[in-house]
Structure 1
Amino acid sequence: MQAINRVIFNTGITYVKTVVTSLIALYSTRLILNALGAEDFGIYNVVGGMIAMLAFLNAAMSTSTQRYISYNLGTANIESVKKIFANSVIVHFVIGILLVIVIELVGIYLINNQLKINPARIDVALYILHFVVASTFITVISVPYDALINAHENMTFLAVVGVVESVLKLLIAFSLFFLTVDKLFVYGFFTMLCTIIIRVIKRIYSKRKYKECHVNLIKEYDIDQIKELNSFAGWSLFGTLCSLARNQGVAVILNLFFATVVNAAYGIANQVNSQLMFFSQTMMSAMRPQIMKSEGSNDRDRMIRLSLTANQFSFYLFTFFALPFFFEMPFILKLWLKNVPEYTVEFCRSIILLTMMNQINMGLMTAVQAIGKIKVYQMVAGGIQLLTIPIGFVFLKLGYQPYSIVLVSFVLETISTVFRIFYFQYLTGYRAVEYFKKVILNSFLSLLPSVLLVYFVRIWLVDGFVGFIVLGIISSISYLLSIYYIGLTYNDKQMLMQIFSSLKNKFVTKM
Structure 2
Amino acid sequence: MSTGQLNMAPSSGTDASPVNGRRGSVPPIMGRARSLGESTLVMSLRTIVTMCISLYSARIVLAELGAVDYGVYFAVAGVTLLVSFLNSALATSTQRFLSVELAEPDNTRLRSVFSASLQIHAVIALLTLVAAETLGLWFVKTHMVFPAGRLDAALLAFHFAVLSTVITILQVPYNATMVAYQRFSAYAAFDIAFAVLRLMVALLLIVSDGDRLKTFAGLMFTVTFLAAAAKVIYCTRAYSSCRYRLCWDGSLLRGMSGFAGWSLLGAAAQVLNIQGIGIILNLFFGPLANAAQNIALQLSNATSTLAANLQIASGPQIIMAHAAGDTARFHALVERSARFSFLLMLVLMAPMIVGIDAVLDIWLKTAPTDASGIARLLLVTALINSVSFPLMAAAQATGTIRTYQSLVGGLMLSAIPLAYLTLSMGGGVLAVFYLLLILSVLSLGVRLFILRGLVGLNVGCFLRVVVLPSLGIAALVLAFGALLRVCLPDTILGELAALVLTGFATLLAVCFLGISASERMEVWQGIVRRVGASS
TM-score (norm 1): 0.94
Task: Report the equivalent of 2:159.
Answer: 130
Q: Which stretch has the larger CA shift, 104-113 or 339-348?
A: 104-113
Larger helix proportion of the pair:
1
Aligned ranges for residues 247-396 of structure 1 at < 5 Å? 247-396=274-423
Structure 2 stretches of 5 or more lacking a match? 1-6, 8-30
CA distance, structure 2, for counterparts of residue 505 and residue 153 of structure 1: 16
**Partners of 1:31 and 1:173 within 8 A in 2:** yes
Task: Report the equivalent of 2:81.
Answer: 52
- The answer as to 2:57 corresponding to 1:21 is no
Report the 3-state secondary structure (helix = DSSP H, G, I; strand = E; otherwise coil) of the residue aligned with 1:79.
coil
- The answer as to 2:91 corresponding to 1:67 is no
1:94-139 deviation digits (Å, cap 9, x = unpaired): 0100011112222211221111112411112111111111111111
Task: Report the equivalent of 2:268.
Answer: 241
Mark the CA change 1:419 to 1:509 in structure 2 (over 3 Å): closer, same or farther: closer
Q: Which residue of 142, 146, 171 corresponds with 1:113?
A: 142
- State, as a whole percentage, how many aligned pairs show the same letter: 28
1:208-254 deviation digits (Å, cap 9, x = unpaired): 0001122421xx32122111111100100100101110100100000
Q: Which residue of 416, 419, 423 corresponds with 2:443?
A: 416
Task: Report the equivalent of 2:25.
Answer: none
Work out which structure has the larger RCO, using CA pairs closer than 8 Å and 6 or more positions apart in sequence: 2
Task: Report the equivalent of 1:30.
Answer: 59
CA distance, structure 1, for counterparts of residue 99 and residue 137 of structure 2: 39
**Partners of 1:5 and 1:499 within 8 A in 2:** no
**Partners of 1:104 and 1:129 within 8 A in 2:** no
Q: Which stretch has the larger CA shift, 249-258 or 136-145?
A: 136-145
Report the 3-state secondary structure (helix = DSSP H, G, I; strand = E; otherwise coil) of the residue aligned with 1:471.
helix
Task: Report the equivalent of 1:207.
Answer: 236
Matched to 2:346, the amino acid is: T
Report the 3-state secondary structure (helix = DSSP H, G, I; strand = E; otherwise coil) of the residue aligned with 2:150.
helix
Q: Which residue of 227, 236, 239 corresponds with 2:254?
A: 227
Shift of 1:311: 0.8
Task: Report the equivalent of 1:97.
Answer: 126
CA distance, structure 2, for counterparts of residue 506 and residue 132 of structure 1: 37
Shift of 1:375: 0.4
1:325-382 deviation digits (Å, cap 9, x = unpaired): 1111111101111121111011101111211111122111111011111100000000
Q: Which stretch has the larger CA shift, 242-251 or 408-417?
A: 408-417
Shift of 1:497: 3.4
**Partners of 1:447 and 1:482 within 8 A in 2:** no
Matched to 1:39, the amino acid is: V
**Partners of 1:331 and 1:463 within 8 A in 2:** no
Report the 3-state secondary structure (helix = DSSP H, G, I; strand = E; otherwise coil) of the residue aligned with 1:282.
helix
CA distance, structure 2, for counterparts of residue 432 and residue 14 of structure 1: 29
Matched to 1:421, the amino acid is: L
Q: Which stretch has the larger CA shift, 463-472 or 172-181?
A: 463-472
**RMSD of the alignment, in Å?**
2.1
- The answer as to 2:503 corresponding to 1:479 is no
Shift of 1:508: 9.6
**Partners of 2:404 and 2:447 within 8 A in 1:** yes
Mark the CA change 1:174 to 1:507 in structure 2 (over 3 Å): closer, same or farther: closer
Report the 3-state secondary structure (helix = DSSP H, G, I; strand = E; otherwise coil) of the residue aligned with 1:239.
helix
**Partners of 1:235 and 1:375 within 8 A in 2:** yes
Q: Which stretch has the larger CA shift, 90-99 or 472-481?
A: 472-481
Q: Which residue of 500, 513, 518 corresponds with 1:494?
A: 518
Q: Which stretch has the larger CA shift, 430-439 or 256-265?
A: 430-439
Mark the CA change 1:510 to 1:46 in structure 2 (over 3 Å): closer, same or farther: closer
Q: Which residue of 423, 430, 452 corresponds with 2:479?
A: 452
**Partners of 2:296 and 2:375 within 8 A in 1:** yes
Mark the CA change 1:160 to 1:502 in structure 2 (over 3 Å): closer, same or farther: closer
Q: Which residue of 188, 191, 201 corresponds with 1:162?
A: 191
Report the 3-state secondary structure (helix = DSSP H, G, I; strand = E; otherwise coil) of the residue aligned with 2:429.
coil
Shift of 1:494: 3.0
CA distance, structure 2, for counterparts of residue 464 and residue 74 of structure 1: 56
Task: Report the equivalent of 1:147.
Answer: 176
Report the 3-state secondary structure (helix = DSSP H, G, I; strand = E; otherwise coil) of the residue aligned with 1:403.
helix
CA distance, structure 1, for counterparts of residue 526 and residue 369 of structure 2: 49
CA distance, structure 1, for counterparts of residue 315 and residue 358 of structure 2: 36
**Partners of 2:511 and 2:520 within 8 A in 1:** no
Mark the CA change 1:418 to 1:183 in structure 2 (over 3 Å): closer, same or farther: same
Mark the CA change 1:435 to 1:163 in structure 2 (over 3 Å): closer, same or farther: same
**Partners of 1:111 and 1:122 within 8 A in 2:** no
- The answer as to 2:105 corresponding to 1:76 is yes
Shift of 1:3: 6.1
CA distance, structure 1, for counterparts of residue 202 and residue 522 of structure 2: 45
CA distance, structure 1, for counterparts of residue 533 and residue 124 of structure 2: 50
CA distance, structure 2, for counterparts of residue 213 and residue 170 of structure 1: 30
Task: Report the equivalent of 1:185.
Answer: 214
Q: Which residue of 441, 445, 449 corresponds with 2:468?
A: 441
Report the 3-state secondary structure (helix = DSSP H, G, I; strand = E; otherwise coil) of the residue aligned with 1:312.
helix
Shift of 1:395: 1.1
Matched to 2:258, the amino acid is: S
**Partners of 1:445 and 1:486 within 8 A in 2:** no
1:284-330 deviation digits (Å, cap 9, x = unpaired): 22111111121222212211111111111111111211111111111
CA distance, structure 1, for counterparts of residue 76 and residue 257 of structure 2: 29
**Partners of 2:57 and 2:199 within 8 A in 1:** yes
CA distance, structure 1, for counterparts of residue 530 and residue 142 of structure 2: 63
CA distance, structure 2, for counterparts of residue 20 and residue 67 of structure 1: 28
CA distance, structure 2, for counterparts of residue 330 and residue 44 of structure 1: 24
Mark the CA change 1:53 to 1:507 in structure 2 (over 3 Å): closer, same or farther: closer
Aligned residues: 506
Matched to 1:406, the amino acid is: F
CA distance, structure 2, for counterparts of residue 148 and residue 510 of structure 1: 24
CA distance, structure 1, for counterparts of residue 32 and residue 477 of structure 2: 32
Shift of 1:7: 3.2
Q: Which stretch has the larger CA shift, 500-509 or 208-217?
A: 500-509
